[in-house]
Structure 1
């Protein structure tokens, strides 16, 4: 069966995914310092980070419209899947579901399913790869959905950032009581909750100790790593991502490893120097 996988632009596509012909991106948009940026192949990370540094206002993002998703669903593929960043953090999931409803009102029923990643960035990447793996195995539409939903249940997301300012100012840290003392160089290790919210896992002083603590937490949570892909995204800090990869490889073996640069939305929230790990 022919299939199409739409991933909102908080999820990064690898070069292989871009070349496959099965993946499309639904772009979010960003406003910063009077500039309007579409998070697509034209995104310039270095220029974007410069605009953030120069702006006194916090950058804001907006999700793809239901009509945008509807357009992506209108294609010849028999099975269509959308993967969005966590519904607890963005309206992208609801927009994708509304787009499905609009499509079916206009054109009739079709095999379309929207996955709430309960994650972001490379978490969405891994879900897209899992869908493709299931399709290549010849699973039915329902079997793909059931298999991938089970995969999402087992997925863990971790991140360590130089600053949580943008997450905090945009209301993405609701419910977290801890106050980050930037002056003391406190770097909290963060992670996702089962429902796709953000939780604080540990406090460390300095990025170096933070990376060690994050790796310790990842290893503590790992089950059957040899069956899993380790995915790391970074915002302008490839060396830091490689350090995390090497520390994890000292503790466990993985089926594969992916390292990517953060796209626009992930760069906005990760900020310069941020690292995200999903396994």
Structure 2
């Protein structure tokens, strides 16, 4: 059976997969002041970061319309797997569900399954790549769904950011009991728990927080030799390499991928942000 994998643009796929016809990215919209930016292949990270730095306002994002998802489902593939941002963080998941209903009403029956990643950026990408592997292995539509959701439920997402302001101002930190004092340069180590953001630990300064995060990843991961380590960075490739190397000194992984953030991840993680999923 032929297949297609549809993701929203918070999914930080490596470039080679973004160009793969098996994948289609449905873009979110980025807003900063009067600038409306489509988060697609035309996204210019350096220009966008400059606009964000120059503005007194908080950048915002808007999820794709159901019609955009419906159009993505209208293809020759027999099976369509859709991976979206956590439903606790965005309306993208619900929009995809509505797009599926619209498609069935207007086009008829088709195998379409919407997967709530319970994650973001490289977490979405990790799930999407797993769906590709499973589909390529020849499993049935229902078996791919079962296995990829099991993979999602066993996956963990961790991150350390220079600033949590954008997440806080956009209401994405409702799961955190309190924010640490930025005046003390304390950087939280955060984890995605069932799609919500929680504080796991902290460090004084970004470097100590990143080291703490690598220690947590190594301590909590099970069977790393069978899993993929993915790291999203926002314009800080060398920092991402340090994080990768610190983790690999402690535990082995089947594969490691580092990818620069697209627009949505850049908005919320901010310059210098690091997200790890495995």
TM-score, length basis structure 1: 0.98
Bigger Cα displacement from structure 2, 172-181 vs 122-131: 172-181
Q: Distance in 2 between matches of 1:99 and 1:226?
A: 37
Q: Distance in 2 between matches of 1:158 and 1:54?
A: 28
**Is the 2:175–2:196 Cα contact (8 Å) retained in structure 1?**
no
Q: Distance in 2 between matches of 1:88 and 1:253?
A: 31
**Is the 2:122–2:230 Cα contact (8 Å) retained in structure 1?**
yes
Structure 1 runs not aligned, ≥5 long: none
Offset from partner CA, 1:5-25 (integer Å, 9 cap, x none): 011000112122123310010
Q: Distance in 2 between matches of 1:19 and 1:53?
A: 30
Aligned counterpart, 2:80: 80
Q: Distance in 2 between matches of 1:49 and 1:18?
A: 22
Aligned counterpart, 1:236: 235
Q: Alignment length, in residue pairs?
A: 278
Aligned counterpart, 2:195: 196
Q: Distance in 2 between matches of 1:223 and 1:179?
A: 30
Q: Distance in 2 between matches of 1:151 and 1:17?
A: 20
Aligned counterpart, 1:220: 219
Q: How far apart are 1:163 and its partner, in Å?
A: 0.2
**Is the 2:18–2:25 Cα contact (8 Å) retained in structure 1?**
no
Structure 2 runs not aligned, ≥5 long: none
TM-score, length basis structure 2: 0.99
- Alpha carbon RMSD of aligned pairs, Å? 0.8
**Is the 1:33–1:54 Cα contact (8 Å) retained in structure 2?**
no
Offset from partner CA, 1:46-77 (integer Å, 9 cap, x none): 11110011111111100000000000001111
Offset from partner CA, 1:205-237 (integer Å, 9 cap, x none): 101100110011101111000000100010011
Q: Distance in 2 between matches of 1:45 and 1:20?
A: 22
Q: How far apart are 1:128 and its partner, in Å?
A: 0.8
Alignment of 1:7-18 (within 5 A): 7-18=7-18
